Amino acid sequence: PAAEQKDHAIMETVDFRDRNTDLVADRQEYGDDPIAVRDSDQYRAEYVQTFVEKWDDLIDWSARAESEGRFFIDVLKARGKAKILDVACGTGFHSVQLMRAGFDVTSVDGSAAMLAKAFDNAKDQRMILRTCQADWRFLNRDLQGKFDAIICLGNSFTHLFNERDRRRALAEFYAALKHDGVLILDQRNYDAILDSGFSSAHKYYYCGERVTAEPEHVDPGLVRFRYAFPDGSEYRLNMFPLRKNYMRRLLSEAGFQHIRSYGDFQETYQEDDPDFFIHVASKS
């Protein structure tokens, strides 16, 4: 029992430090070999405070709202969904949009820095966000209740670097949904990036040309994106390149019965064309 107790104490210390890494870090750390970093826990160290602040200063919410239109609102309303869980709320863009449209929203993120920013952003717009810090892999340990719909948007699922974590997260999402719940999850079009090769991988521009995102390393297990800001600062994100059909298979094997995939918000598209795929997966 003494040994068990000691182990427990160590676990708690590690957990405490982990959860607070992103509150103190002000620069991204990838060590000596950044492309060797392929870890589902890395996201906490990637979304450092300065990156979070810069991102929101430059990406203007109204431009993003305009490019997405009413897509998510329409999908949710058409299916009669009201109680929404935003599992990757980030700085709160979709949570705020959906609250404004009258949905009952709960906002989750594993990063404390992101949640704090989301709360402040909502407050600036006179809304109080209901937030919960949780990692998807332990979602139902840290969150109560069942939801009509879960959204996991902004290419977030890409942060999971091994299949066990992906299956675990999808099982947690499935369990947090009501019997006829729906999961909306999006991803970059990695098939195009992997198949067209690094040399032809194009630059992505956010809101004009203020921020560029470009893959600086591509292999079947890692796409490392570089984000360049007009003041010369740069940040990176390591991502797992999810192929579209692999993602659809994981959703189906998690128990989702119907999966409809859209390309850049359209139901019909050329396989190579879209930058993003959006999967709408329903339990029944």
Binding residues vs ligand SAM (CB under 6 A): 43, 47, 88, 90-91, 93, 109-111, 114, 135-137, 153-156, 159
Helix boundaries (H) for 101-230? 112-124, 139-142, 163-176, 190-200
How far apart are the C-alpha atoms of 226 and 231, rounded to whole Å? 14
Strand pairing report for 258-263 and 222-228: unpaired
Smallest distance, Å, CB 1 to ligand SAM? Answer: 33
Residue in the shown chain whose Cβ atom is closest to ligand SAM:
154
Looking at beta carbons only, is 122 or 257 nearer to ligand SAM?
122
Smallest distance, Å, CB 132 to ligand SAM? Answer: 10
Smallest distance, Å, CB 253 to ligand SAM? Answer: 19
Smallest distance, Å, CB 139 to ligand SAM? Answer: 8
Distance from the Cα of residue 138 to its chain's centroid: 15
DSSP result, 40-73:
TTTHHHHS-HHHHHHHHHHS-HHHHHHHHTTHHH
CA distance readout (Å), 250 to 19, 49, 71, 157, 164: 28, 32, 24, 12, 11
Give yes or no for a contact between 235 and 256, defined as CB atoms under 8 angstroms apart.
no
How far apart are the C-alpha atoms of 138 and 33, rounded to whole Å? 29
Looking at beta carbons only, is 106 or 155 nearer to ligand SAM?
155
The residue among 197, 217, 163, 196 whose CA lies nearest residue 271 is: 196
Smallest distance, Å, CB 89 to ligand SAM? Answer: 6
Smallest distance, Å, CB 6 to ligand SAM? Answer: 28
